[in-house]
Amino acid sequence: MKKYQTIDLTYSAFFICLMAIGSNITFWIPFLAIPIGGVSVPVSLQTFISILAGIILGKRLAAFSIFGYLLLGIAGVPVFAQMQSGIFVLFGYTGGFLLSFIVTAYLAGLIIEIKKPFTKRSIFLASLSGTLVNYLIGVTYMYIAMNTWMGLEVSYYASWVSMIPFLIKDLGLSLFITFALYSVIQRLSLLQKKHI
């Protein structure tokens, strides 16, 4: 196993900071709430940032960085969405989404590694599968959480239906931003290869 360089560590530390900001982006852009089907869904950039972490840091370091983000949140730093923190956030309905960011980052990094060279297509695949895996784990976790320790009986189907607006939002957002930032990401990943 390759030892991490200092620059790897500082980069992943700053990705933790970016995750913290991305989770609460509506704090700085308060009117960025997307109306879907009459419900106003507040935007968070967590999915996008974890995909970006996968693309820039590579699969292993990105997963490691997101793991650090979760631990920091557990340690009581308000880095989760709505400035929440603490271990109970992971036990709540949406804890699975947080846990799945590790897999999302890893998967995005993996796809970028397999699909060389770096093209729009590989970026599209990375964001698409990253977001889908995010919801697959998140919703399944929500279903399990509700039916076991929350003591509520909700069908798997119903939990999916309730999360569909969010899925559309996150899918659209991460695809849109990765494309809008395509040239930036491309240059960043080149820059990163030079260093790391």
Partner 1 sequence: MSSIIIGQYVPANSVVHRLDPRAKIVMIFCFVVFVFFANNTLSYAWLTVFAVASALLTQIPLRFIAKGLSPVWFLIIFTFILHLFVTNEGTVLVELFGFQIYSGALIQGVAISLRFFLLILFTSLLTLTTTPIEITDAIETLLNPLKKIKFPVHELALMMSISLRFIPTLMQETEKISKAQASRGVDFRTGPLKDRIQAVVPLLVPLFVSAFKRAEELAMAMEARGYQGGEGRTRLRELVIVKRDWLAMLAFALVIAGLFFFRY
- What's the min distance (Å) between Cβ of 177 and partner 1? 7
Quick one: 24 exposed, middle or buried, by C-beta within 10 A (0-12, 13-18, 19+)?
Answer: buried
Give the number of residues written for the chain. Answer: 196
SS3 68: helix
Q: Largest alpha-carbon pair distance within the chain?
A: 52
Among 99, 125, 132, 181, binds partner 1 (CB under 8 A): 181
Angle at 108 between CA 103 and CA 112, to 5 degrees: 145
Q: Which is nearer to partner 1, 67 or 136 (CB)?
A: 67
- What's the min distance (Å) between Cβ of 176 and partner 1? 6
Alpha-carbon span 51 to 48, nearest angstrom: 5
Q: Which of residues 8-37 bind partner 1 (CB under 8 A)?
A: 9-14, 16-18, 20-21, 25, 28-29, 31-32, 34-35
Q: What is the dihedral of CA 153, 41, 185, 114, to 10 degrees?
A: 20
Task: Specify the DSSP class assigned to residue 80.
Answer: B
- What's the min distance (Å) between Cβ of 115 and partner 1? 22
Number of shown-chain residues binding partner 1 (CB under 8 A): 61
Q: What is the x/- site pattern for partner 1, positions 35-64, by CB under 8 A? A: x---------x------------------x
Quick one: 118 exposed, middle or buried, by C-beta within 10 A (0-12, 13-18, 19+)?
Answer: middle
Q: Does 116 bind partner 1 (CB under 8 A)?
A: no
Alpha-carbon span 174 to 52, nearest angstrom: 9
- What's the min distance (Å) between Cβ of 136 and partner 1? 24
Residues that bind partner 1 (CB under 8 A): 1, 3-7, 9-14, 16-18, 20-21, 25, 28-29, 31-32, 34-35, 45, 64-65, 67-69, 71-72, 75-79, 82-88, 91-93, 149-153, 173, 176-177, 180-181, 184, 188, 191, 195
